[in-house]
């Protein structure tokens, strides 16, 4: 029997907006219909004629906790996600302690289970010292492996990941390029020098080394685009199942496009900060704008949007990496890299769709369908708003554009690089048929589920 009905909402069906009712039973979508009866149900949600969309899956967050809980913890991070319409995340392993073995995996899992209000997966870390732990991490049910840094000598580890059939998540920067430029610019303390130290060619060389076709892009500075491009190229040679994190340069995008045409199993993500901010933002942000890969020159932004819309870029991910404002407001070389973003990802993209920078259909693909398929969440009935899928839904009043204000966000960071930017925040967020956000969090800590990937160990095995 239907237990919840969302009545009077607008939904994209077959590329047309339709007025429908959504029937939910036992956390799953039961029916979507214009004429469905709403009698004898436990709970009726008035959609007010608002837009209903699948909630987001953010495949790249750093929810900190443990030894870095002053920056973020699983409760505050998941609350921020829910407020922004994200109901499933993948947490990356570079926490303190890092997720490199069974003990550290369970340390994080216990924190996440007890605090998270949203569903989640956990990535396994890859370092030269933990190659012998990778099989156990895989059997424990890690979603994928990485971020893996392209500069590391990890041949044996990558061979194991290839044998597992696991996704290798790559941070594509060539640190040899970056180190040389760091030495060159070491006396320059202008915040914008970070973009010079890690240039476009660093990203492009890393991408090309994997994809086996090295190319060059427009010149850059300390983290120039070439750093990313070199790293991407280096990794694409290994025939792994690859996912490139936070691609930020036009030539790296071109390399990935060519690899896809050659039939390579490769996907990539782009962050909102590389779509909406540029090296011109250094003046406003100062050292708060430090992230890896860095803010790029404006010439890279249109190609990123084009690649997002032409299916070269597969998904949007926040790379939510919160630090306190005190930690960020220091010399550029001392400030930690990373910005908060899980709460603003979907609202920024919804506003972009409102202004026709991306279609609603494509927005659903890059925030939900593609992440679910690539990282196995479709096996957990996550993906579309269709019969049998989890009722993970956001309700959005598309007339209610508001400026982003850091003081109103829910991350412990307490600030945002998108201060004042127009955005469309969800009115309601539902996870598995339950409202988890309605002008505040409405569920208890621990409501979120661990989306386990075919684990050999039991879900309740908390030993280490």
- Residues flagged as binding site for substrate: 62-64, 94, 323, 337-338
DSSP run (H or E) holding 146 = strand 145-149
Q: How far is CA 300 from the centre of its chain?
A: 20
Q: Is 53 helix (H, G, I), strand (E, B) or coil?
A: strand
Dihedral angle over CA of 445, 318, 351, 412, nearest 10: 50
CA separation (Å) from 182 to 69, 175, 188, 295?
Answer: 30, 10, 10, 16
Q: Is 324 helix (H, G, I), strand (E, B) or coil?
A: coil
Q: Which residue in 355, 372, 267 sits closest to 55, CA to CA?
A: 372
Q: Which residue in 199, 182, 192 sits closest to 279, CA to CA?
A: 192
CA separation (Å) from 85 to 81, 169, 230, 275?
Answer: 6, 24, 35, 19
Report how far residue 91's alpha carbon sits from residue 88's, in angstroms, rounded to the nearest whole number.
Answer: 10
Q: Output the known binding site for Zn(2+).
A: 60, 62, 147, 171, 246, 319
CB 389 within 8 A of CB 381: yes
Query: Is the C-alpha dihedral spanning 324, 326, 327, 331 positive or negative?
Result: positive
Exposure on the CB side of residue 423, measured as CA atoms within 13 A: 26
Which of 174, 319, 390, 392 does the annotation list as catalytic? 319
Q: Is 434 helix (H, G, I), strand (E, B) or coil?
A: strand
Q: Is 401 helix (H, G, I), strand (E, B) or coil?
A: coil
Q: Which residue in 358, 364, 349, 365 sits closest to 418, CA to CA?
A: 349
CB 201 within 8 A of CB 220: yes
Report how far residue 377's alpha carbon sits from residue 120's, in angstroms, rounded to the nearest whole number.
Answer: 10
Partners of 7 in beta bridges: 46
Contacts of 143 (CB under 8 A, 6+ apart): 90, 121, 122, 123, 167, 375, 376, 451, 453
Q: Is-catalytic flag, 319?
A: yes
CB 319 within 8 A of CB 338: yes
Q: Tell me which residues are annotated as active site.
A: 319
């Amino acid at each position: 029997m239907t237990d919840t009905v969302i009545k009077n909402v607008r939904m994209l069906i077959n590329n047309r907006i339709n007025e429908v009712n959504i029937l939910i039973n036992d956390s799953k979508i039961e029916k979507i219909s214009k004429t469905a009866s709403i009698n004898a149900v436990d709970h009726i949600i008035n959609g007010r004629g608002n837009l209903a969309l699948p909630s987001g899956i953010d495949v790249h967050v750093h929810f900190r906790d443990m030894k870095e809980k002053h920056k973020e913890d699983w409760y505050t991070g998941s609350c921020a996600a829910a407020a922004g319409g994200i109901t499933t995340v993948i947490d990356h392993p570079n926490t303190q302690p890092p997720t490199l073995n069974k003990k550290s995996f369970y340390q994080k899992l216990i924190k996440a289970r007890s605090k998270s209000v949203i569903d989640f997966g956990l990535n396994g870390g890859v370092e030269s010292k933990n190659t012998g732990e990778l099989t156990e991490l895989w059997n424990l049910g890690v979603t994928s492996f990485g971020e893996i840094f392209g500069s590391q000598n990890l041949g044996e580890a990558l061979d194991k990941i290839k044998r597992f059939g696991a996704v290798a998540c790559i941070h594509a920067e060539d640190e040899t390029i970056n180190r040389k430029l760091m030495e060159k610019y070491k006396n320059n303390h202008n915040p914008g020098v970070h973009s010079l130290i890690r240039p476009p060619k660093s990203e492009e060389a890393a991408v090309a080394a994997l994809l086996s076709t090295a190319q060059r892009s427009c010149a850059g500075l300390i983290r120039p685009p070439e750093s990313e491009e070199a790293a991407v190229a280096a990794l694409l040679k290994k025939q792994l199942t690859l996912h490139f994190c936070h691609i930020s340069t036009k030539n790296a995008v071109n390399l990935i496009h060519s690899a896809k045409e050659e039939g390579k199993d490769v996907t990539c993500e782009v962050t909102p900060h590389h779509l909406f901010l540029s090296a011109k933002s250094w003046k406003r942000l100062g050292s708060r704008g430090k992230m890896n890969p860095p803010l790029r020159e404006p010439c890279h932004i249109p190609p990123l949007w084009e690649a997002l819309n032409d299916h070269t870029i597969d998904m949007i991910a926040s790379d939510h990496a919160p630090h306190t404002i005190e930690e960020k407001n220091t010399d550029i070389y001392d400030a930690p890299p990373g910005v908060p973003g899980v709460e603003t990802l979907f609202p920024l993209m919804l506003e972009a769709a409102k202004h026709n920078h991306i279609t609603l259909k494509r927005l659903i693909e890059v925030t939900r369908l593609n992440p679910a398929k690539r990282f196995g969440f479709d096996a957990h009935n996550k993906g579309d708003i269709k019969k049998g899928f989890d009722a993970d839904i956001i309700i959005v009043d598309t007339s209610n554009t508001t400026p982003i204000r850091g003081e109103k966000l829910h991350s412990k960071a307490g600030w945002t690089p998108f201060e004042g930017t127009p955005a469309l925040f969800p009115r309601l967020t539902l996870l598995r048929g339950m409202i988890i956000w309605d002008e505040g969090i409405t569920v208890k800590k621990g409501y979120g589920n661990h989306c386990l990937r075919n684990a050999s160990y039991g879900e309740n095995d908390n030993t280490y």
